[in-house]
A and B are shown apart, each in its own frame.
Chain A
Amino acid sequence: MHELSICRNILDIVLEQAATDGFSRVERIGLEVGPFAGIEIEALRFGFDVVTKGSLAEGARLDIHETAGTARCADCGASTVLLRRFDPCPQCGSHNLRVTGGEDLRVKELEVT
């Protein structure tokens, strides 16, 4: 359940931004989360509500854009979308894959008033 720590980090980013940008309320937070970031989305939503209670982000909508996992096959050179880390290369069946994307965990944008 490290999603709670992740939510605290999101709130810290929002509070830092509020200090420099001078907003008093957050309506929406846009996040980018990859399939290999180790995040359970529902746990993140639950944690977010708990962590933001009483803050300027209380009640803010969490828009989560789930990015694709990608990999390159070290045997046949194919670039592929990877749903799970242990899936084989769809071109040649090898497991000798290097993950090239899908570990994203970013705050992309804030909608504020």
Chain B
Amino acid sequence: MCSVCGCGDSKVQDQAQLFTYELAPGPESRLIRLERDILAKNNAHAARNRDHFDARGILALNLMSSPGSGKTSLLVETIRRLNDRCACSVIEGDQQTSADAERICATGAPAIQINTGKGCHLDGAMVERALDGLAPADRSIVFIENVGNLVCPAAFDLGEAHKVVIFSVTEGEDKPLKYPDMFAAANLVLLSKTDLLPHLDFEVDRAIANARKVNPMVDLLKVSARSGEGMDQWLAWLEAARDSVLARRSKAAAE
């Protein structure tokens, strides 16, 4: 088995093994030993964001999916239903356009658009800058809608309390196996667009089993923004997550 990409071509692995350490430095050179985490800078920004959220009792969620999974439609419906229960705001990440932020703003919730240009993911620093502009209310929910991409966003902590992966039933049951790093990082998987199930051959049980193969602990809910299926459970999940943020804040204040 190839350890580079998991394919059956062992020749690739042989190539990879050619690049092993050559520990002896040349006569002119010297060796500096380091133990530097390459993502440390991003993680420092993420930690500052997490402190910002925790100090204000804000629940922050990092929403990730492939393009076209219905993230924005689900968010619009979620915000509409949360309306009188809890203030919320949105950080929208896309390579181009402010179309998604405009859709969110139409609900009355504040939204800020980050255009990543050629970038394929949001990072901690981008969210830190966006928070300056957005200034979310204390005890509110901040939804961070990441760039539609099931690969890169998995590696970048933004300071969120939970990672939520939206997996639409139009995508195929094997998505969790094809993009295991993303599903392994998730705290919650929302199986979306379930109103379309009668028109598809999608096997829900197989999709759920695949998600659990890469992440046995993950929470999973079936939702449809259109029919409303599962929206009550999703809102209950949000409320429970928000309660634990607030409980943590009270505990920290008491100490």
Chain B residues with CB under 8 Å of A9's CB are 38-39, 41-42
User: Are the CB atoms of A28 and B22 closer together than 8 Å?
Assistant: yes
Asked if A112 is at the interface (CB within 8 A of a chain B CB), the reply is: yes
Chain B residue at minimum C-beta to C-beta distance from A27: B29
Q: Identify the stretch in B2-10, B237-245, B247-255 within 8 Å (CB) of chain A at 4 or more residues.
A: B2-10
* B161, CB-defined interface residue at 8 Å: no
With A85-B180, A86-B214 known as contacts, the answer to whether A62 contacts B31 (CB < 8 A) is: no
Q: What 0/1 readout, one digit per residue, does chain A (47-91) give for beta carbons within 8 Å of chain B? A: 000000000000000111110000000100000000111100000
Contact B213 A13 (CB under 8 A): no
| Option from A42, A65, A84 in Cβ contact (under 8 Å) with B21 | A65
Q: Which residues of A contact B21 (CB under 8 A)?
A: 30, 63, 65
Determine if A92 is an interface residue (Cβ-Cβ < 8 Å). Answer: no
0 or 1 for each of A26-54: is its CB under 8 Å from B? (1 = yes)? 01101100011110111000000000000
Confirm or deny: B28 has a beta carbon within 8 angstroms of a beta carbon on chain A: yes
Would you give the shortest CB distance from B246 to chain A, in whole angstroms? 29
Q: Closest residue of chain A to B22, judged by CB?
A: A63
From A6, A35, A96, A111, B216 is in contact (CB under 8 Å) with A96
| Chain A residues, Cβ within 8 Å of B48 | none
**How large, as a class, is the contact surface on chain A?**
35 or more
Classify the interface of chain A: helix, strand, loop or mixed. mixed
Say if the beta carbon of B200 comes within 8 Å of chain A: no
Q: Do A13 and B38 form a contact, CB below 8 Å, given A96-B216, A112-B32? A: yes
Q: Say yes or no: is A10 at the interface (Cβ < 8 Å to chain B).
A: yes
Q: Which residues of A contact B216 (CB under 8 A)?
A: 74, 95-97
| Pairwise interchain contact B210-A40, C-beta atoms closer than 8 A | no
- How many angstroms from the CA of A37 to the CA of B123 in the assembled complex? 16
B6 lies within 8 A of A105 (CB)? no
Contact B41 A111 (CB under 8 A): no
B120 CB–A CB distance under 8 Å = yes
When distances are taken between beta carbons in the complex, the residues of chain B under 8 Å from A1 are 120, 152
Q: Does B228 interact with chain A (Cβ within 8 Å)?
A: no
Please state if B32 and A106 are interface contacts (CB–CB under 8 Å): no
Chain B residues lying within 8 Å of A40, measured Cβ to Cβ, are 4-5
Tell me whether B177 and A86 are in contact (CB under 8 A): yes
Contacts of B213 in A (CB 8 A): 85-86, 95
Q: A83-B1, A113-B28 are in contact. List 11 more A-B contacts (CB 8 A).
A: A2-B152, A2-B156, A5-B121, A12-B41, A38-B154, A38-B181, A63-B20, A64-B16, A66-B3, A110-B32, A111-B31
Residues of B participating in the A interface, judged by any CB pair closer than 8 Å: 1, 3-6, 16, 19-22, 25-26, 28-39, 41-42, 119-121, 123, 151-152, 154-156, 176-177, 180-181, 184, 210, 212-214, 216
Q: Give chain A's interface residues, CB within 8 Å of chain B.
A: 1-2, 5-6, 9-10, 12-13, 17, 21, 23, 27-28, 30-31, 35-38, 40-42, 62-66, 74, 83-86, 95-97, 99, 105-113
